[in-house]
């Protein structure tokens, strides 16, 4: 992966090679960091880079920080402006991934959240696809379980919790699958390794509620709105059993990185007719147009990078 040219680090934009931390840093030793994942989409016709729902992403980012007893001293609007300045300086003319990361910066020994220095950084890199087979992914039910809210809350994007994701992803990929589905400790489906999930049964779109140890995904929220508004679908948020997935008509995963990824097989069982279904296909096309700023009704989700410097 190409390295960034710049990073926002300790209050200003610096060359990426100057954005360094010491090996004793608390977050490196104890996983006490939180992060975000935001995408910018290049629109060739308009020669503009559109960042997708940055205020929503930075609001969630600051909420993750709050869970970890961090005070970053910035608002989500400040974070958008920092990001705009950084991405403008990079001058990207292609799709990008933007990573804000807040971390406990002290170089000390001792596990805790309080009385520590909070710092944050932002950087961006060119980015293409995350799940290589995004039109017909073959997934497995992971033998790992999703962390419970009383262990490490999944609604925060907490660095240490992503060890759970890493176990899940590595075992799935090494076993020859594209991705994995993860059950809660109570046996209900929560999400993918780093994606929210949706199934279609009897014409209804069904996804687990935010209380099922999921990340409150921005893509999930967007897809729910698009399904209700544009496809006029019923969208239910309720528990999903493992065996319902075997019987569903369509299944897909959503995420900033994964976008709308069609799942056509789980543990060697074809889902529906084993091909990407019509609802998945429609939502996939719609989402891809929306993120690139091609749908007027949803232009308020697209923050242009080069058109202007600051949001209000
Ligand atoms: N769940 C997990 C565990 C994730 O890491 C992600 C990726 N951020 C998602 C779901 C999808 O969230 P979003 O649509 O906000 O990217």
Does pLDDT of 24 surpass 90? yes
Q: Check pocket membership of 218 for ligand 1, CB cut-off 6 A.
A: yes
- Domains, the chain, in order of start with CATH, read 6-126 (3.30.470.10), 137-291 (3.20.10.10)
How far is ligand 1, taken at its centre, from the CA of residue 207, in Å? 14
Report the share of the chain in percent with pLDDT over 90: 95
Count Cα atoms within 13 angstroms, Cβ side, for 90.
29
Tens-digit pLDDT profile for residues 131-142: 778 899 999 999
How far is ligand 1, taken at its centre, from the CA of residue 108, in Å? 31
Mean of the pLDDT values across residues 277-303?
Answer: 98
* Protein residue whose Cα sits closest to atom 6 of ligand 1: 194
Q: What is the C-alpha to C-alpha distance for residues 164 and 190, in angstroms, rounded to an integer?
A: 13
Three-state DSSP class for residue 279 = helix
Q: What is the C-alpha to C-alpha distance for residues 206 and 224, in angstroms, rounded to an integer?
A: 10
Does pLDDT of 312 surpass 80? no
pTM for the complete prediction? 0.96
Choice from 41, 255, 256, 261 to test ligand 1 binding pocket (greatest atom count within 8 A of CB): 255
Q: What is the C-alpha to C-alpha distance for residues 42 and 93, in angstroms, rounded to an integer?
A: 6
* Protein residue whose Cα sits closest to atom 11 of ligand 1: 255
Enumerate residues 6+ apart whose C-beta is below 8 A from 179.
131, 137, 139, 169, 172, 192, 193, 195, 253, 258, 261, 263
Enumerate residues 6+ apart whose C-beta is below 8 A from 47.
93, 306
Does pLDDT of 310 surpass 60? no
Choice from 194, 213, 301 to test ligand 1 binding pocket (greatest atom count within 8 A of CB): 194
User: Residue 129: its pLDDT value, please?
Assistant: 73
Choice from 131, 215, 253, 260 to test ligand 1 binding pocket (greatest atom count within 8 A of CB): 215
Query: Where does the pLDDT of residue 103 fall: very low under 50, low under 70, confident under 90, or very high at 90 and above?
Result: very high
Three-state DSSP class for residue 163 = helix
Does pLDDT of 64 surpass 80? yes
Tokens coding 249: 């008509």
Tens-digit pLDDT profile for residues 157-213: 999 999 999 999 999 999 999 999 999 999 999 999 999 999 999 999 999 999 999
Q: What is the C-alpha to C-alpha distance for residues 150 and 138, in angstroms, rounded to an integer?
A: 31
User: Residue 308: its pLDDT value, please?
Assistant: 57
Length of the chain: 312
């Amino acid at each position: 992966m190409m390295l960034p040219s710049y990073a926002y680090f300790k209050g200003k934009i610096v060359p990426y090679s100057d954005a360094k931390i010491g090996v004793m840093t608390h977050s490196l030793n104890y996983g006490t960091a939180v992060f975000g994942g935001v995408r910018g989409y290049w629109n060739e016709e308009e020669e503009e880079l559109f960042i997708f729902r940055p205020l929503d992403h930075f609001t969630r980012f600051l909420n993750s920080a709050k869970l970890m007893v961090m005070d970053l001293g910035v608002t989500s609007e400040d974070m958008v402006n920092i990001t705009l300045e950084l991405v403008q300086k990079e001058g990207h003319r292609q799709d990008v991934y933007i990573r804000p990361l807040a971390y406990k910066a002290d170089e000390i020994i001792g596990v805790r959240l309080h009385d520590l220095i909070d710092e944050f950084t932002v950087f961006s890199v060119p980015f293409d696809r995350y799940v290589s087979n995004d039109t017909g992914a073959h997934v497995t039910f992971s033998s790992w379980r999703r962390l419970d809210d009383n262990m490490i809350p999944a609604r925060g994007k907490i660095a240490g919790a992503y060890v759970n994701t890493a176990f899940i992803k590595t075992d799935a990929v090494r076993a020859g699958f594209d991705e994995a589905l993860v059950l809660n400790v109570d046996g209900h489906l929560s999400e993918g390794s780093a994606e929210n999930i949706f199934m279609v049964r009897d014409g209804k779109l069904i996804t687990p509620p935010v209380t099922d140890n999921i990340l409150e995904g921005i893509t999930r929220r967007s897809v729910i709105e698009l399904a209700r508004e544009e496809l006029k679908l019923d969208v239910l948020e309720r528990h999903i059993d493992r065996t319902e997935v075997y019987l569903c008509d369509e299944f897909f995963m959503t995420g900033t990185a994964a976008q709308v990824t069609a799942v056509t097989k789980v543990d060697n069982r074809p889902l529906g007719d084993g091909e990407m279904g019509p609802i998945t296909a429609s939502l996939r096309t719609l989402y891809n147009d929306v993120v690139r700023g091609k749908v007027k009704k949803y232009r308020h989700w697209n923050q242009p990078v080069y058109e202007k410097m600051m949001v209000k």
